[in-house]
Amino acid sequence: MSVYDFAYTSIEGNPVSMREYGGKVLLIANTASKCGFAPQFGGLEDLYRKYGDQGFEVIGFPCNQFMDQEPGDAKAITEFCSVRYGVTFPLSGKVDVRDEGAIPLYVYLTRMKGFEGMGKGLKNKAFEAMLKAKYGKGFRDSQIKWNFTKFLVDRKGEVVARFEPPVEPLDIAPFIEELL
């Protein structure tokens, strides 16, 4: 099994098979326009433009599960992303990424790469304290904890890394380059 065994619905309402991304390096992120991490849309777009011609794709999955930070409809989300951050990478329709309602792709992603702290040695004590206060014992479970959790997928469709929200997209560039 790989990410290529899943599908999603685009923000335009069209079915998309992950097989369409076969042979590419992917960065998959759950997003929210009203989140404090929303400026990461710009960093994701920078990565997409820098590496897109080398077989790299970014896919954003808008989600409203974390403090209602993605309240808009498809039109509002698309407009915000394109006007504010110049986003041209694909977006899905709004989805759930944790708990019982999580789309199958996110169930798979979190099973393949669980929560391992703040990610690649980067620490944010305030964010970590907020997560512990919100999730208590479940803090170390594999579910998505917040907006802008990012998964890196190799050309074979295998999930190779998970980066938590405080990790800036441009800090992921060396890992992308390794896979390209």
Predicted TM-score of the model (pTM):
0.87
pLDDT score recorded for residue 134: 59
| pLDDT at residue number 122 | 46
Residue 135: pLDDT band with limits 50, 70, 90 = low
Residues designated catalytic: 35
Mean predicted confidence (pLDDT) in 46-68: 97
Domain assignments of the chain as residue spans, ordered by start? 3-179
Note the pLDDT of residue 121: 43
* Residue 118 pLDDT > 70: no
For the residues 166-170, what does the mean pLDDT come to? 93
**What is the reported pLDDT for 165?**
92
For range 40-48, the mean pLDDT: 98
**pLDDT at site 141:** 61
The answer to whether residue 173 scores a pLDDT higher than 90 is yes
- Residue 167 is classified by DSSP as S
Pairing of strands 7-9, 15-17: antiparallel
Q: Mean pLDDT of all residues in the chain?
A: 89
Predicted confidence (pLDDT) per residue in 59-112, tens digit: 999 999 999 999 999 999 999 999 999 999 999 999 999 988 999 999 999 988
Q: 13: buried, middle or exposed (CB in 10 Å: 19+, 13-18, 0-12)?
A: exposed
Q: Does pLDDT of 146 surpass 70?
A: yes
Q: How confident is the model at residue 142 (pLDDT cuts 50, 70, 90)?
A: confident
* Per-position DSSP letters for 75-107, written without gaps between them: HHHHHHHHHHH---S-BBPP---SSTT--HHHH
Give me the pLDDT at residue 145, please: 87
CATH classification (class only), 3-179 = alpha beta
